[in-house]
Structures are given as C-alpha cells and as structure tokens.
Amino acid sequence: MGLHKYEKIWLIFGIGSLVLFLAIIGFGAFWKGTHPQSHIATIDPENVEANEAFRPENLGLTKVDDDKYVVNMIASAFFYNLGKDEDGETVRTLRIPKGSTVLFQVTTTDVIHGFNVAGTNVNMMVEPGYISSYETVFDKTGEFTIVCNEYCGVGHHLMYATVEVYD
Ligand code: CUA
C-alpha cells in the first residue's frame, strides 16, 4: 500500500502539531507549576498567625516607605479582618493618601472569598492555603468599597470594607 505524497505531508503535519501542542501544555503545566501569579505564596489556613503578616498586630494598613503601604487582611465568613485601631475599635476603613502604592496581602481561614476594590482593577480570588497579593497605585480620590465577589455563604452580601483615598 503506497501513500500519496500529499497524504504523507498532511500526516506529518498533523502528528507534528499534536506533538508540539502536547509539549507546550506539558511545559506550561510542569515547568514552574500551574499556580497563577497571585497565588504563589502558601500559608497554613488553620494557623495564619504563624505568618508574620497575619499576626493581629500586623493586620490593616502599614506605611512601609514614602508613599508605600502594605495592607494585610484575613477574610473569613463574613468579615474582612483589618485588625483594631489604637482605641481597640475594629477597623472597617482604610484611609490612604492619593498617589500611594499599596500592596494588598489577603488570605482566608475558611472558604474561598473574593476581594474586589469596586471601581478599580483590583480583583482577586482568596483561597484557603494561599496568600493572594496585588500591588496597585491609588491615583483617584474617593471612597471605594471592597466587596467579596465569590459566594461564600448566607452572609456573603454583608462582607465588605472601605478604602478612602484622600488628597
Ligand atoms: Cu466572602 Cu462572599
């Protein structure tokens, strides 16, 4: 049985592309792991305090340099824990000067939550066992609501915090 010349060419082309695509998928899956960029850091969800960033005294907004801040928060049903202020009150609002660079580091102790600063492109999924982080610059003044956009239970719609960007 002889193969026609064009049949041979197409066979080689077909098998060749299959091998190439499988190689690309294999490379993507095994070379550096498959975790998306924001989920590289891992954490024990049962003991988040073991990580310095999530100790009670390090939660909330911390100034780390001129115009540079870090926000550490623990999401849980149905609350974003930003720590307490000097008066021992629960922090619900982050007050940030306009033009600041802010690194958000968020983890969860129970189920998957969302972290979306409404009106900006800050939008992360927060998964148990991982630290989701995202750095952004706040260059518009105003009040922005941080909302949970992953359904997490009966109190899902009550889960929010506020970012206030001032001049
Ligand atoms: Cu947390 Cu929805």
Average pLDDT for runs of 10 along the chain of length 167: 89 97 86 60 91 94 95 96 92 96 96 94 92 93 96 95 95
Residues with CB under 6 A from ligand 1: 78, 113-114, 148, 150-152, 156, 159
* Cα–Cα distance for residue pair 63/74, rounded to 1 Å: 18
Q: What is the model's pTM?
A: 0.76
DSSP 145-161: EEE--S--STTGGG-EE
105: helix, strand or coil: strand
* Cα–Cα distance for residue pair 110/128, rounded to 1 Å: 6
Cα(84) to ligand 1 centroid in Å equals 21
Alpha carbon nearest to ligand 1 atom 1, residue? 113
In the chain, where are the structural domains located? Answer: 1-35, 41-166
* Cα–Cα distance for residue pair 67/55, rounded to 1 Å: 23
Cα(64) to ligand 1 centroid in Å equals 29
The CATH-assigned architecture of domain 41-166 is Sandwich (2.60)
In ligand 1, which atom is closest to the CA atom of 78? Answer: 1
